[in-house]
Each structure stands twice: as C-alpha cells, then as structure tokens.
C-alpha cells in the first residue's frame, strides 16, 4: 500500500523507508543485530509451491535453515517468476514476497510486455532447477550437453572456503556459494567454462583489454564495482556509469564452432561483480554481491555476438535515432573561452579547410557557473545569439553544457529563477527530515534535481525553454557530472551560510603535463613534432608509459572508510557518499539514494530528451552524457569522460567504444587528442585520424592546457582533412548502421571476432575494430612509428582491399601483417563481399555533403559476389518518417539496385567503382551501352563515372562482360 501523506515536506513512505534503514543501523550499533560478515553458514533456500503457466512458472522459496545475517537480515520468503520472453530471451526474477526491497519502477525503465504466445516449449533457453537447496541453471535446447550458460548449483563450484585472491583484501575470499537474499546484501554466483571469454560489465577502463580478466593465463581476476562516480578515467575502478550486462563468447576447439550468450542483472544496487578462477579449479566463475534490490535476470541466447547485443536492446530499448549532423566533427575547449575565441576558432577551421560541424561550450558560457545562464562579459547573450545564428546560416550547430547541480540563491537580493522555481515546484532531492539536500559544486552550494518528483519534467523543460529564449538556440545538449557529482560529502550546505562559499575559480591554472615522449623542459611548450628539423620524440617506439593497475581491493586499502552498508563494495572513493550525494538523500516516492544512485544520470537523460522533443519540435534530440545505465541509449549518446593526453589512453578509447556497443549506447567516443594534460602534435595527429572512424568525434581539452584545435599544427590539419573527408564519404554507411541499431539493436562498431567467431586470435584484439561488417580500422597507437601491425580476419579466405588505394592486401593468414603508416596516414581496409553507398564529394558540412551526389563502391569476393544496403531519410525528423531502403547485390557480372520506400532521393548516383573484376569489353546500364569507363588492372578496378542513376527507381541493373 502506498501512503501519500506528507510529513514535513517528505512523504510518509520516505520517512518509513529511511526509518527502516536507520533502525537497521541502530540495531547493528547497539548489538540488537550482529552481522556475521561471512556467508559460510548461510542456509540457502528451499522450493515450496510451484505453479506453471503458459509463459513459464511462479514458485515460492523459503529460507532453508537458521538465518545467517551475513551482511544484513535474511529475508525468509521469496518469490521466483520465470518467463520465456521470446525464442531467445528468458527472464528469471527473484524477489522478496513482501515486496519491500527496491525494484526499478516500470516508469523509469519500461520492461518487455507479456509475451503474446508461449515459448516454453520452443525457446532455445531452458530453465532447470533443484528444489533443495534451491538452485537453477540455464541450458540451450539446441545444445543440451554443453555446459550451462548460467549455473548456480553448489556442486558446480570448487569447494570452499577459498582464500582471498588479493591477500590484502579479505573480501576477495569465497566463503561459500549459497543463494543469499538479505535486506542489505544479495549474493548469487554462476560457474562458467574455464577461461571463457567475457566482455562488458562496466563502465570501466580495464587494464586487461576489452576482454575481461577472468583469472586465467596469468590474470588476477576482476572486481567490477557498479557505483556511478565522478573521476578522471582511472584503470580498473568504477567509473561514471553502471552496466550489469556481459557477453560470453565460447569457442569449441574440437568442433571449431562458437556460440555466444548474454546475461543482464537489471539492478541499480551498488554492487561488486567478481570474475575469478580459483586455484586448481576446473571452472571459472562470476559472483554478484549487491547491497540491496532484487535479482532480476535476463538471459540472451544469441547465438552470435551481435544477436546477443540485439536481444539485450530489445529488452531495455533500442538506441535513439541520431540526426545526420551528429556524425560531423565537433570542437570544444574548456579554459575561460569567450565568444570572440569561439568566433576566431570557427573562422580558423574554415580558413584551414578543416570541416567543423558543431561548436560546443563548456562551463565558460555560464554566469558564475550557474546553469541556464550566459556570462554577461565573456558571452553576452546578444553576441552569443548572433554567433549561433551565423552557425545555423552556415549549416553548422551549437551545443552547450548542462551541469546537474543547481546553484542556490545566496541572499534575498539574489535572483536565480531556475532554483527558485524548483523550490516552488518541489523538484529537489531532500534530506531525511524533509529539508533541502545541499551539496557543493562549481557555483557554490547547490541543490540536485529529483527525477522522481512529479513536477520535475515540467520544471526542467521550462528551464531549458527559457534558456533558448535568452538566445541560446542549441541544436543539442551536453549533460555532464550527472553521477551526480558533489565536491563535498553529505548535505554539507544544510544550515550553512550560503554566501560563505563562492564559485570555484580556476583562472591562472596552467597544465604542465605532456605525452610521455615529449620533454617540455628540453623542447619548450609548443608540443611540436619537430623543432628546427629535429624530432622531439624522446623515447623509442614501444617504450611508452605503462599505466598502473590498482589493487583489486579498495575495501582493504589504506584511507578507505566504508561504514554503510555492512558489505563494503569496492568503490574507488571508499565511502559511498564521497564526492556524490549521500546514501540517505531522499527522493520523491520514498526512494533513498542508496537504491537509486546508479539511475541518476539515465533519468536526467530521459527527462532532457523528452524536454528537447518539446523544444525542438519534430527534430531528433541530440544528447551526449556522462553517467549512464541500461536504457540510457534510448535517450542519449556518451563520451568516455575525462581521459588523458597519453598514447595509452588513445588505445584505451577503443575498448570503451566497443563496451558501449554492448551497452546499446552506440553513439560514443573519447575526447580526441586527450582532455587532461597537454597533447602534442604527433599524438593529436594520430588521434584525430583514429577518432574519425569512431561514432562520436569531438576534440576537447581542459582549462590551462595547450590549445589543441586541429588547425594548430600543419600536420594535424592535414591528417584531419584526410580523415574527415573519408568519414564524410562514409556517412551513408554510418547512417545505415545506426538505423539498424535504432530498429534492430545491431552494433555499428564491432570487435573483430563478432564477424569471425571461430578465430581465437581475435578474441583479445582491441587495437583494431570493424565499422559494421565491412570496414577494418588499424590505427597507429605508439609514438615515432611509421608502420603498424594488424591482423586481417578470415585466415586468407577474405580479400581485404586498401580504402585509399583499393590495392589488395597481401595478408599473413591468422597473424599480424606489417603495414606502412607514415604520419597523417591511418590504415583502413574494405572487406570483400561488400557494397557501400558513399557520398561522392565530402564537403565542409554534413548538410553540404548530403546535398551532393552519391557513389557506389563494390568489393567482390573471389566468387565475384557482393551484397550491401543503405537506409536514407531526411536525417533529422523525429520520429523518423518517410525513408528509402536501397538493396545492392552483385553476381555474374551484374550489379542490381533495388529501391523501396516513400522518401524521395533527389541526389543521383554518379560513380560506380567495382573491385575484383576482370577487364570487361562492354558495360551497360539498364540494357544501354555506356562509354567513358576506365580499368586499372593492378587493382582489378573498374571505374564507371559520369552516371546519373535515379535512386528512386524500383530496379537498376549495371552489367559488365
């Protein structure tokens, strides 16, 4: 029963919920409840009544013995619901029968509806169980003899106790593997194949690479902590987002076959997820340790990697539709920029002929760091409005930042409508006593939006609308620090003199760090690659800095103080209230921050997305945000946070982009050239090229650092022009991949093994990636290099052709091939069997590029066949309206184009290039002979220019013989 009585500005539900939590702490401190801090004697559960239904089953579970009260109070009665959601998705939900534990509301994340047909007898996933002690395991109907996808049976694990795998951290021991379900602690584990391949579980920058360390082959295992945190991109610690989803890729050497599956635990609880292979164990394992909530599992059968990702998307929501302009090059700088500098930068980019699609502003734009304002000196709103209007006239765009902390007014004469309107509408998070929760951020003391509150959507929409009426006509928004971040712990401003804390000031800050091979003391602060003809690279290739991996035991490391909950998850800051909202911060509806912390960023993204639907009527909202959670991709894209100008961080950005494809947030990228510290010319040159082949492409650096706009160095400008031209040429391909993501959940960027799942040499590759299935990118990731090693998948069965020259690569099957990579060159290759629709003449803006004509690139395989498709629409309408689907196929000396849809394409197809063809004598278009074509025998390349093919025609045939 929901009680809506209000007590002192706080709902009675809230008071009762926090009172329950306080009583637990009081009982613990007074000795009324003593926690054993050990699961050895936890009895598990026994199955009671069970009822099968058309879609699965429902059963009761009862505690099977004396409560162990390991890290909380054991819950006696549980309910399990098993639903065969589809042929490929199985839902297993275990919750307290009394429904007192926090469960993510349907209003926050919409769940799949009840199936319209029964899949109990046909699903590839099969739910199996033992009644006492209760355990379940998930098998494949198509491969019943294989090791289960998920297996909680005690007999499947090695014997316990197992000593800590980190001797300084006792919590890394395994005292036992029972099912534990307590009010403050849940535990469940599954046996996995020894040394299996696990991907996902984040957000994280993993020192082990994209493939997670599972404790075999010399690894130490993984503790993945899920607690959203504002921190500058450390290794192996919890970061901005929480994504309890993993993909497992299994390879059978005996049969040379593979299969993949996925597991989602849809919980926002602070958690440790442990991957480990105990000594002498025949299996690896995953164990979940949560400080609240319920066990809400979804299992995905794949069996391919991309199908697993798509099945996850079908469960939590496919990614939002991106506007075409979002794929352009974005530019931002933080460092007390003013409107004159923005204008000068835009002009300099044009003068250097480096395409610029979007100009961004960081918190420089604000008046004393207050959201929804403009600085009257540095960004007078009339001048900013004129600047934005000029960008729009040139078909460019503008994006400002939105911080999540709202400044408090400091006295009676201080007028700040966003704050006062929020107070009037009751849209802020509270303390347990109903008073305003006050943290501290850039503007001083701050309040935090309560996304659960009834009036928050209208208040937030009004604040953004009013900002546009001040002349800030944004095309999209940048949502930062939404973990949420606070510079103090707990409600530090409660009862304080609000005028005593002034806005932060970083004026005069000078950044001195440079990439590890640039010696500022020797060469000065220019960051140039050569000075007076001498290379400034101070270290040979292969000797760049190795980033330090932290110990896997924050809970047992010095200066860590975690008092609540009793189980201390491995939060990098220690206490869960450090640098963020306190765990007792109270939300509308009776929710406390302890339960909903990881949802904060996603809920802001949803609220902002819906606001932009109102403000930018009929246009696709474009958002880039920092803290994310399952379903964030429905509302936003993501950047990889506050990285560093280091060569290794350029490499690490690749695993981040691959991670977020699994997480169904495909519009993702790192801050190009690095954010923290200074970049240098060589690093920025290589990074501008690498990032051109990733979804989100933005150059951004910190205050006080060396300016790193790409026009600053001639070589970087040249590299940027080359790479951006290729990116804009590929835009129809990118756009089609993202349409497939938004309609089917398929990942636009792919690890190599997704397409070649039976080639184990690819399972740990994260220095290369595929765009879709057809474009292979092999960047230079070390300083001073003029070559790069890369593997070409297919083991000799696939023909790979150079993007730039169309020459066939003489690749080493199954091993590395050394490629030439002089400065300003990035290796990009086209897979055979592919047909790509391209823009014929990449232009300065996406609009100008899209207005130009098309070309078609056909890369035939050894059998002379190829396939491809393209999705075309107006690039901006929301919801997406009329579109046209183009299907391409080539075989037996003929290229067929099939066109379907209501959208009219006014641009013509003017050039067709066919690779892998013998020199023809005749070329015909729709039966008519055409002239003017050329043939390059060295590349087996047929080029047919000066066409004028109507792409709205239902059928088009081009033949050569």
Q: Catalytic residue numbers?
A: 480, 483, 642
CA distances from 815 to 46, 250, 760, 765 (A): 52, 21, 11, 12
Q: What residue has token string 């047929």?
A: 942
Four-CA torsion 555, 560, 563, 568, nearest 10 degrees: -20
- Any bridge partners for residue 135, and if so which? 130
557 CB-contact burial (10 Å; exposed 0-12 / middle 13-18 / buried 19+)? middle
**How far apart are alpha carbons 770 and 830 in whole angstroms?**
10
**How far apart are alpha carbons 577 and 405 in whole angstroms?**
16
Question: Please, which residues have CB within 8 angstroms of residue 661's CB and are 6 or more apart in sequence?
Answer: 309, 668, 747, 748, 749, 750
CA distances from 939 to 234, 391, 935 (A): 46, 42, 9
Long-range contacts at 410-414 (CB < 8 A, ≥ 24 apart)? 410/444, 410/445, 410/498, 410/499, 411/498, 411/499
CA distances from 232 to 239, 446, 503, 932 (A): 8, 22, 21, 57
Angle 636-637-641 from CA coordinates, rounded to 5°: 125
Tokens of 813: 């099957």
Long-range contacts at 467-470 (CB < 8 A, ≥ 24 apart)? 467/372, 468/615, 470/373, 470/374, 470/381, 470/385
Q: Residue 377's Cα: distance from chain center in Å? A: 37
Question: Please, which residues have CB within 8 angstroms of residue 688's CB and are 6 or more apart in sequence?
Answer: 672, 673, 699, 710, 716, 719, 720, 723
Q: What residue has token string 């509150």?
A: 453
Q: Residue 104's Cα: distance from chain center in Å? A: 20
**How far apart are alpha carbons 954 and 757 in whole angstroms?**
36
Whether residue 438 contacts residue 493, with contact meaning beta carbons closer than 8 Å, is answered with yes
Tokens of 414: 């201080």
Angle 213-218-219 from CA coordinates, rounded to 5°: 20
Q: Report which DSSP code applies to 920.
A: P
**How far apart are alpha carbons 54 and 927 in whole angstroms?**
57
**How far apart are alpha carbons 153 and 160 in whole angstroms?**
14
Long-range contacts at 530-537 (CB < 8 A, ≥ 24 apart)? 535/784, 536/680, 537/682, 537/783, 537/784
Whether residue 892 contacts residue 785, with contact meaning beta carbons closer than 8 Å, is answered with no
Q: What ranges make up the beta strands (E) of 892-948?
A: 894-901, 908-915, 923-925, 928-929, 934-936, 941-944
Q: Residue 73's Cα: distance from chain center in Å? A: 36
DSSP 592-630: EHHHHGGGHHHHHHHHHHHHHHHHSTTB---EEESS--T
CA distances from 73 to 19, 42, 66, 184, 290 (A): 15, 11, 11, 7, 14
**How far apart are alpha carbons 407 and 447 in whole angstroms?**
6
CA distances from 592 to 166, 469, 725 (A): 32, 35, 50
């Amino acid at each position: 029963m929901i009680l809506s009585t209000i007590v002192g500005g706080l709902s009675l539900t809230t008071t009762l919920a926090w009172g329950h939590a306080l009583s637990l702490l009081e009982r613990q401190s007074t000795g009324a409840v003593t926690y054993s801090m050990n699961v050895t004697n936890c009895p598990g559960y026994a199955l009671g009544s069970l009822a099968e239904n058309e879609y699965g089953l429902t059963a009761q579970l009862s505690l099977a013995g004396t409560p162990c009260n390991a890290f909380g109070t054991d819950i006696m009665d549980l309910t399990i619901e098993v639903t065969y959601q589809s042929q490929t998705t199985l839902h297993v939900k275990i919750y307290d029968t009394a429904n007192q534990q926090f469960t993510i509301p349907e209003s926050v994340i919409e769940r799949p509806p009840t199936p319209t047909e029964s899949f109990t007898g046909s699903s590839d996933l099969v739910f199996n169980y033992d009644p006492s002690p209760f355990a379940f395991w998930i098998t494949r109907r198509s491969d019943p003899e294989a090791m289960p996808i998920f297996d909680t049976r005690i007999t499947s694990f090695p014997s316990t106790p197992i000593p800590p795998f980190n001797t300084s951290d006792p919590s890394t021991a395994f005292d036992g593997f029972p099912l534990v379900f307590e009010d403050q602690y849940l535990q469940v584990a599954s046996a996995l194949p020894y040394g299996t391949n696990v991907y996902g579980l984040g957000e994280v920058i993993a020192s082990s690479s994209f493939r997670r360390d599972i404790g075999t082959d010399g690894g130490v295992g993984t503790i993945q902590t899920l607690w959203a945190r504002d921190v500058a991109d450390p290794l192996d610690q919890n970061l901005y987002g929480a994504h309890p989803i993993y993909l497992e890729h299994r390879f059978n050497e005996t049969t040379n076959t593979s299969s993949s599956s996925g597991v989602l635990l849809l919980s926002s609880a602070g958690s440790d997820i442990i991957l480990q292979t105990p000594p002498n164990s025949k299996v690896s394992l995953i164990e979940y340790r949560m400080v609240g909530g319920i066990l809400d599992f979804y299992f995905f059968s794949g069996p391919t990697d991309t199908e697993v990702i798509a099945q996850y998307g079908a469960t939590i929501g496919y990614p939002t539709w991106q506007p075409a302009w979002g794929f352009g090059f974005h530019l931002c700088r933080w460092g007390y920029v003013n409107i004159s500098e923005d204008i000068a930068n835009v002009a300099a980019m044009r003068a250097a002929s480096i395409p610029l699609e979007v100009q961004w502003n960081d918190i420089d734009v604000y008046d004393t760091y207050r959201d929804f304002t403009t600085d009257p000196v540095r960004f007078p709103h009339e001048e900013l409005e004129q600047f934005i209007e000029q960008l729009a006239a040139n078909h460019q765009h503008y994006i400002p930042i939105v911080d999540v902390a709202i400044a408090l007014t400091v006295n009676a004469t201080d007028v700040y409508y966003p704050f006062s309107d929020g107070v009037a509408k009751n849209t802020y998070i509270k303390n347990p006593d109903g008073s305003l929760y006050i943290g501290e951020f850039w503007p001083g003391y701050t309040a935090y939006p309560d996304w659960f509150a009834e009036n928050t959507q209208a208040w937030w929409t009004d604040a953004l609308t009013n900002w546009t009426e001040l002349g800030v006509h944004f095309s999209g928004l940048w949502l930062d620090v939404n973990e949420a971040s606070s510079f103090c712990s707990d409600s530090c401003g409660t009862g304080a003199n609000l005028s005593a804390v002034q806005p932060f000031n970083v004026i005069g800050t000078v950044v001195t760090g440079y990439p590890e091979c640039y010696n500022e003391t020797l060469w000065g602060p220019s960051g140039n690659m050569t000075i007076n003809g001498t290379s400034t690279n101070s270290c040979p290739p292969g000797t760049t800095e190795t980033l330090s991996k932290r110990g896997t035991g924050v809970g047992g490391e010095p200066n860590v103080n975690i008092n609540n909950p009793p189980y201390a998850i491995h939060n990098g800051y220690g206490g869960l209230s450090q640098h963020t909202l306190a765990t007792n911060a109270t939300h509308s509806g009776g929710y406390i921050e302890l339960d909903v912390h990881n949802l904060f960023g996603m809920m802001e993204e949803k609220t902002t997305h819906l606001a932009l639907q109102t403000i930018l009527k009929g246009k696709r909202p474009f958002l880039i945000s920092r803290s994310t959670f399952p379903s964030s991709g429905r509302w936003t894209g993501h950047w990889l946070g506050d990285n560093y100008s280091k060569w290794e961080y350029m490499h690490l950005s690749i695993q981040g982009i691959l991670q977020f494809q699994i997480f169904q947030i495909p519009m993702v990228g790192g801050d190009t050239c690095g954010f923290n510290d200074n970049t240098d010319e060589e690093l920025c040159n290589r990074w501008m090229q690498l990032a051109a082949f990733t979804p989100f492409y933005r150059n951004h650096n910190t205050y006080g650092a060396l300016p790193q706009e790409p026009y600053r160095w001639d070589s970087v400008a040249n590299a940027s022009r080359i790479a951006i031209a290729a990116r804009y040429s590929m835009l129809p391909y990118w756009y089609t991949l993202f349409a497939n993501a938004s309609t089917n959940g398929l990942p636009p960027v792919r690890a190599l093994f997704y397409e070649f799942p039976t080639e184990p040499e690819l399972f740990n590759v994260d220095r290369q990636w595929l765009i879709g299935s057809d474009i292979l990118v092999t960047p230079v990731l070390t300083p001073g290099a003029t070559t790069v090693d890369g593997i070409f998948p297919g083991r000799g069965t696939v023909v790979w052709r150079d993007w730039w020259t169309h020459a066939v690569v003489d690749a080493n099957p199954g091993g590395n091939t050394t490629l030439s990579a002089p400065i300003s060159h990035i290796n990009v290759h086209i897979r055979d069997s592919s047909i790509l629709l391209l823009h014929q003449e990449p232009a300065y803006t996406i609009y100008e590029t899209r207005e130009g004509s098309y070309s078609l690139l056909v890369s035939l395989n050894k059998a002379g066949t190829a396939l491809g498709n393209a999705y075309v629409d107006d690039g901006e309408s929301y919801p997406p309206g009329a579109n046209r689907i183009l299907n391409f196929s080539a075989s037996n000396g003929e290229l067929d184009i099939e066109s379907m849809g209501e959208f009219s394409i006014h641009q013509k197809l003017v050039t067709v290039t066919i690779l892998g063809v013998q020199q023809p004598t005749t070329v015909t278009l729709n039966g008519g002979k055409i002239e003017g074509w050329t043939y390059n025998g060295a590349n087996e390349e047929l080029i047919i220019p000066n066409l004028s093919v109507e792409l709205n025609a239902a059928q088009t045939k081009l033949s050569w013989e």
